[in-house]
């Protein structure tokens, strides 16, 4: 005898079955949506570096460039208050101090010859490498970003770190002063070419602009050329057109070199990520004067970078961007401040005064009212472009038509003040890594090779002028340069024609 199920029960079973089916479909759709969003985020995070703009044909820009509303808020009423002091909580994006930093295996055999060590192992997991061999490169990079829990720029995908930072990689073990754009990856080449094609500042060269092989000058010849052709200048209260402005008395009456020099032993401390776990703090603090850059903190990193700050060189972007809290942070209130802003290549001060990259003069006035006793100088743009010309004149190809980096400007500045200058991690040591800054947690090869700034070429020049041993670069990331007053150019070779 067949058992009949009441119609109401059938309806209830059918309803429950439909609800379960819809719930399963909804869960699957939500999971798929979350996965798609995660991949989209990973791809965006992966490419949130200057190369993204180059790939899509948009004007390249550095990742650190502030949003327009940040500068607008500064212009309207000063920096917005934030509860966290970057000196007390170092870094814009805190990282894990226990995270291992890769170490290269051995010294450059071409210079040291006898030292060897085991090869460096890749940090890329086997599963990521397996997937990378089958999936398109952007997708494999996105998956690796998701599952490795770190953000990378140029150095993503299978064995990318070994390509740049391994003992047989692009950067070698001690910086090669013959580095050129031809040795960069395709994405980095696009970035550099983009900036080389731009000429925002109206750069005009009287001689060859690169591309013609020149006679390579020796280290002493380069030092003498730099000494002869570069003059460290700063704005003073009697300099036109600033002398006509009501805030002219806020500017120093004397040149920076007259106020601060001469000094004996000086340290120029870069912000490179390879300074982490370096243990160089005591050595850095042993110098008579220490220069630091932009928003690089010391608190929490004393063991690696020291605690002394005699001078801090900052760009106008740091002064204008509210995230750096220039007007309120204690980070900037110690030592001497030196600021700079890109200006026209012609060094037309009137034109620069009316159209700066960032509101350096407005911020300068505000800061001076808050700290009237602290020495605060602004570099003359002529100095910036004189330094740029020396880099270009000693390279065999055209370089970016943008001002030099703060690191190189600070190095030349300290050479004008000190008898001897030790520069730390401007040329990467055995700790070389894709980590951009020791106080952040962002990874990008452009921080080492340059994008907006002609950093690659600056490093070539510093390597040629180095008077220390390659072992010092490898173990400590330390370059030794003489001060201009200590250079004897009486026996230096004459500058070749066409230079």
Residue 1 within a domain? no
Determine the pLDDT at residue 188. 82
Please tell me the predicted confidence (pLDDT) of residue 364: 97
Q: Is residue 351 situated within a structural domain?
A: yes
43 inside domain? yes
CATH code of the domain in which 358 resides:
3.90.1480.20
- pLDDT digit string (tens) for the chain, length 499 residues: 555 556 555 566 677 777 888 888 888 888 888 888 877 766 554 444 443 333 333 333 333 333 333 443 333 344 333 333 333 333 322 233 333 323 222 233 233 333 333 333 333 344 444 555 555 555 555 555 445 444 444 333 334 444 554 555 555 678 888 888 888 888 888 888 888 888 889 998 766 555 454 678 999 999 999 999 999 999 999 999 999 999 999 999 999 999 988 999 999 999 999 999 999 999 999 999 999 999 999 999 999 999 999 999 999 999 999 999 999 999 999 899 999 999 999 889 999 999 999 999 999 999 999 999 999 999 999 999 999 999 999 999 889 999 999 999 999 999 999 999 999 999 999 998 888 999 988 888 888 888 889 999 999 999 999 999 999 999 999 999 999 999 998 854 444 444 3
- Whether 264 maps to a domain, the answer reads yes
Q: Where are the beta strands (DSSP E) in 263-412?
A: 263-269, 289-293, 311-315, 336-340, 376-378
Residue 81 lies in a domain: no
> What pLDDT sits at residue 442?
84
pLDDT of residue 133: 54
Supply the range of the domain harboring residue 235. 39-68+86-113+123-499
What's the domain count of the chain? 1
In a domain, 74, yes or no: no
Structure tokens belonging to residue 388: 């740029």
Nearest 5°: CA angle at 324, between 323 and 329?
125
**pTM across the whole model:** 0.70
Write the DSSP assignment of 108-152 as a string of letters: -TTTT-S---PPPPP-S-HHHHHHHTTS-HHHHHHHHHHHHT---
On whether residue 306 sits in a domain, the answer given is yes
| Residue 27 placed within a domain | no
């Amino acid at each position: 005898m067949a058992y009949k199920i009441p119609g109401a029960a059938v309806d209830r079973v059918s309803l429950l079955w439909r609800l379960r089916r819809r719930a399963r479909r909804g869960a699957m759709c939500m999971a798929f949506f979350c996965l798609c969003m995660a991949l989209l985020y990973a791809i965006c995070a992966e490419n949130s570096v200057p190369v993204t703009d180059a790939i899509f044909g948009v004007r390249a820009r550095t990742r650190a460039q502030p949003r327009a509303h940040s500068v607008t808020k500064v212009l309207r009423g000063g920096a917005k208050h934030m509860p966290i002091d970057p000196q007390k909580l170092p870094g814009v994006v805190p990282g894990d101090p226990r995270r291992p930093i890769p170490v290269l295996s051995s010294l450059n055999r071409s210079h040291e010859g006898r030292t060897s060590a085991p090869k460096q192992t890749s940090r890329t997991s086997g599963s990521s490498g397996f997937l990378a061999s089958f999936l398109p490169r952007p997708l494999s990079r996105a998956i690796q970003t998701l599952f490795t829990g770190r953000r990378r720029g140029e150095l993503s995908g299978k064995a990318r770190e070994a390509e740049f930072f391994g003992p047989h990689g692009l950067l070698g073990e001690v910086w090669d002063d013959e580095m050129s754009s031809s040795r960069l990856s395709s994405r980095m080449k696009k970035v550099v070419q983009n900036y080389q094609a731009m000429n925002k500042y109206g750069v005009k060269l009287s001689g060859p602009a690169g591309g013609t092989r020149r006679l390579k000058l020796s280290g002493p010849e380069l030092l003498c050329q730099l000494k002869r052709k570069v003059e460290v200048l700063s704005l003073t209260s009697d300099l036109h057109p600033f002398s006509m402005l009501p805030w002219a008395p806020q500017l120093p009456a004397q040149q920076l070199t007259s106020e601060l020099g001469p000094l004996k032993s000086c340290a120029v401390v870069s912000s490179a990520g390879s300074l982490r776990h370096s243990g160089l703090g005591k050595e850095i603090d042993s110098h008579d004067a220490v220069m630091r850059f932009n928003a690089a903190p010391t608190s929490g990193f004393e063991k690696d970078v020291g605690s002394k700050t005699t001078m801090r060189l900052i760009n106008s972007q740091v002064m204008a961007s509210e995230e750096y809290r220039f007007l309120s942070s204690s980070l900037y209130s110690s030592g001497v401040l030196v600021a700079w802003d890109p200006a026209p290549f012609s060094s037309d001060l009137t034109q620069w005064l009316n159209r700066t990259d960032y509101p350096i003069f407005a911020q300068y006035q505000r800061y001076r009212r808050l700290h009237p006793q602290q020495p605060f100088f602004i570099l003359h743009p002529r100095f910036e472009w004189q330094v740029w010309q020396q880099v270009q004149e000693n390279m065999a190809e055209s370089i970016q038509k943008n001002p030099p980096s703060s690191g190189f400007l600070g190095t030349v500045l300290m050479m004008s003040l000190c008898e001897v200058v030790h520069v730390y991690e401007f040329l990467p040591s055995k700790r070389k890594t894709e980590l951009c800054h020791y106080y952040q947690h962002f990874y990008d090869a452009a921080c080492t090779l340059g994008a907006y700034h002609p950093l690659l070429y600056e490093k070539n020049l510093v390597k040629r002028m180095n008077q220390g041993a390659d072992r010092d670069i490898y173990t400590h990331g330390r370059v030794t340069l003489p001060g201009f007053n200590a250079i004897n150019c009486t026996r230096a070779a004459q500058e070749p024609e066409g230079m």
